[in-house]
């Protein structure tokens, strides 16, 4: 019994071996073995770097020299000038060279003809200067007919001055009354006789004394420039 099984198994085994051999031979006769191709690999995309933005160069600036400017002369505004009467010119020098100037000349009525006045240091009527020399003459270029007067304190009583004032001087012209047409010039001088005020400015002109405020008492006030 066991021997029969063994024989059957051997037969089956031989049949299986035979079948596989026949199959192998058959395959080799039908077509040569085709080698198995390796699977196709899909290539990875090559990393593409993003190109930097193209730098556009600005055109090179061409330096052009500025056009030369021709200066335009401005026309001066037309000024209308009014003629001014010429002022009398002193032969002894310009007015600005004198330390004193005539401040005022005023006429009053009186019983006699004379010239009086004050030599002041400022606009203050009480700033009179004593010891100053005042000269009088009929001509500013001529020698004085009387000695210079040295200023001193004296009393006045008129429309402008009322009281005692320093810097006073006085010259008589006609003690008997008016001196119509008479002219006198008075000016301030230093101890050497050099003019300290314009000799032609202190001009006193007398009249007949027939009107109110006649020029008989002529008051000349000098003031430091």
Residue with the two structure tokens 């230093």: 190
Residue 37 tokens read as 């191709």
Q: What is the pLDDT of residue 119?
A: 98
What confidence score (pLDDT) does residue 5 get? 67
pLDDT tens digit string along 15-38?
Answer: 655 545 444 334 544 444 444 454
Least confident span in 23-32, 124-133, 181-190:
23-32
Q: For the chain, give the number of residues.
A: 225
Domain ranges of the chain: 100-224
State how far the Cα of 69 lies from the Cα of 56, in Å rounded to an integer: 37
For residues 200 and 115, give the distance between their C-alpha atoms in angstroms, rounded to a whole number.
15
pLDDT of residue 143: 85
Report CA Rg, the chain: 69
Question: What is the distance between the alpha carbons of residues 105 and 8, in angstroms, rounded to a whole number?
Answer: 182
Task: Return the CATH class of domain 100-224.
Answer: mainly beta
Q: Which of 64-78, 147-161, 162-176 has the lowest mean pLDDT?
A: 64-78
Nearest Cα to Cα of residue 138 among 173, 175, 183: 183
């Amino acid at each position: 019994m066991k021997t029969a099984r063994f024989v059957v198994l051997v037969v089956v085994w031989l049949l299986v071996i035979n079948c596989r051999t026949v199959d192998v031979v058959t395959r080799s006769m039908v077509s040569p073995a085709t080698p198995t191709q390796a699977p196709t690999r899909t290539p990875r995309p090559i990393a593409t770097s993003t190109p930097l933005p193209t730098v556009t160069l600005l055109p090179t600036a061409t330096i052009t020299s500025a056009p030369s400017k021709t200066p335009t002369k401005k026309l001066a505004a037309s000024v209308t000038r009014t003629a001014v009467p010429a002022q009398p010119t002193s032969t002894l020098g310009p007015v600005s060279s004198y330390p004193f100037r005539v401040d005022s000349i005023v006429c009053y009525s009186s019983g006699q003809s004379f010239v009086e006045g004050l030599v002041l240091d400022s606009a203050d009527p009480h700033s009179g200067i004593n010891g100053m020399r005042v000269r009088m003459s009929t001509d500013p270029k001529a020698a004085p007919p009387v000695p210079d007067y040295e200023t001193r304190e004296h009393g006045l009583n008129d429309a402008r001055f009322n009281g005692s004032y320093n810097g006073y001087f006085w010259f008589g012209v006609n003690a008997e009354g008016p001196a119509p047409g008479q002219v006198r010039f008075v000016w301030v001088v230093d101890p050497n006789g050099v003019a300290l005020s314009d000799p032609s400015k202190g001009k006193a002109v007398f009249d007949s004394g027939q009107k109110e405020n006649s020029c008989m008492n002529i008051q000349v006030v000098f003031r430091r420039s």
